Amino acid sequence: MKRDYYEILGVARTATKDEIKKAYRKLALQYHPDKNPDNKDAEEHFKEVNEAYEVLSNDDKRRRYDQFGHAGVGSSAASGAGGGGFQGGGAADFNDIFSAFNDMFGGGRGRSGGSPFGFEEVFGGGGQRRGRASAGIPGTDLKIRLKLTLEEIAKGVEKTIKIKKQIACKECNGTGSKSGATETCQTCHGSGEVRQASKTMFGQFVNIAACPTCGGEGRVIKDRCTACYGEGIKQGEVTVKVTVPAGVQDGNYLTLRGQGNAGPRGGAPGDLIVVIEEKPHELFIREGDDVIYNLAVSFPDLVLGTKIDVPTLDGPIKLTIPPSTQPETRLRIAGHGIGHLRGSSRGDQYVRVNVFVPRELSHQDKEMLRELKKSQTIAPSGHHDQNSKSFFEKARDIFS
């Protein structure tokens, strides 16, 4: 059913660790999803390559694979070496959200199996799930975008979204057959496998693949369901609940195991991949887990100090502007930033204070300002700076 790991990497059975690593790097780069956007074929290859490397780069797993084939490593790979396996190869550096999740949920992969929410690498483990599928052809993964506001990201959010996807046909219970009767597959004569020999520079390999006609079952349905034309699936719409933890970033993704397209004729469903999109905020600028807010303050308030209501992600807060606050000062409002992906605390909000310069003034205002100008301390005393020459002296030096 599965391809030979050595064949996938294109290396000999006697290959050294270095050779395996080199071959892996080359292929991983070639099929990397970033280089092949929306290319299902490349994605499949990439999964295969990673799976092969996970096994062949590990002495123990490689020995078991050499001895017992896929059966020797299947179970151990599926139970997961606590996130170490897939990522340990230094391969899957897509998005650090996953390592963070693994920490957050205490070891990640092993535990996520039972939860509806698999915080796993999108490209990890797919092969194992498919390999274990008991019937039908596995459903495909589904990718959707989820737009979130900064407020939602700050505290985490639960979203209920409608998605269009392939669901099991109700008429035939997803079997594709009216009566449920089956007959032996003519393509593979019931074995569920098709074999192809191929010659490569490393010798001849026999490629064993799941039979495309019966999807590896060895049997095909007899009387087709008319509602789904024997596919066992139909286009439908479902609502999905997505729990987004605080602190996610644009481009992060969450994998909901088994919530993708239903597989034809009872095949295991694919995954739903939710890609996070962050809506730009009209008031705040995000800097990591902190947010920046620009605040213009009048000159008298900067000098005398005041209290001003400023917006935060949690609603307005009174901020104290201390006397003699200089322009460009960053005042911190602790704990009102974005929630950290790791841990329960939050980042901070910084208020960048600037001076407000009015464009229109009344006659009276102008009079007051002219009065103010007469003050001895209202203008900078830079002309008499003891450490350096004044601006005017410097300018004179340069241009003379």
Binding-site ranges for Zn ion (CB under 5 A): 169, 171-172, 185, 187-188, 211, 213-214, 225, 227-228
Show the tokens assigned to 356: 């407000």
N- to C-terminal Cα separation, the chain: 85
Q: Is the distance from CB of 143 to CB of 273 less than 8 angstroms? A: yes
Nearest to Zn ion of 76, 213 (CB atom): 213
Of 22 and 219, CB closest to Zn ion = 219
Nearer to Zn ion, 12 or 194 (CB): 194
For 40-84, the DSSP string reads HHHHHHHHHHHHHHHHHTSHHHHHHHHHHTHHHHHHHHHH-STTH
In the block, which residue shows the tokens 């606590």? 82
CB 203 within 8 A of CB 6: no
Least distance to Zn ion, CB of residue 130, Å: 16
Question: Quick one: 33 or 236, whose CB is closer to Zn ion?
Answer: 236
* Least distance CB 168 / Zn ion (angstroms): 8
- The token duo for 163 is 């998605």
Using the minimum distance from each CB to Zn ion, give the nearer residue, 10 or 232. 232
Measured between alpha carbons, how far is 75 from 72 in angstroms, rounded to an integer?
A: 7
Q: Which is nearer to Zn ion, 56 or 211 (CB)?
A: 211
With respect to Zn ion, which residue has the nearer C-beta, 185 or 319?
Answer: 185
Scanning the chain, the segments in alpha helix (DSSP H) are 5-9, 17-31, 40-56, 59-68, 70-79, 84-88, 97-104, 109-112, 126-132, 150-155, 299-304, 363-373, 391-399
At closest approach, how far in Å is the CB of 176 from Zn ion? 6
Rounded to the nearest whole angstrom, what is the least distance from the CB of residue 341 to Zn ion in the complex? 43
- Least separation, in Å, of the C-beta of 126 and Zn ion? 22
- What is the smallest separation between the CB atom of 110 and Zn ion, expressed in angstroms? 34
Task: Quote the radius of gyration of the chain (alpha carbons, Å).
Answer: 31
CB of 213 to Zn ion, least distance (A): 4
Q: How far is CA 393 from CA 323, 387, 390, 400, in A?
A: 31, 13, 5, 11
The number of beta carbons lying within 10 Å of the beta carbon of residue 52 is 26
Q: Which is nearer to Zn ion, 108 or 215 (CB)?
A: 215
Q: Please, what is the minimum distance in Å from the beta carbon of residue 175 to Zn ion?
A: 7
Burial class (CB in 10 A: 0-12, 13-18, 19+), 227: middle
Phi, psi of 341 (to 5 degrees): -60, -40
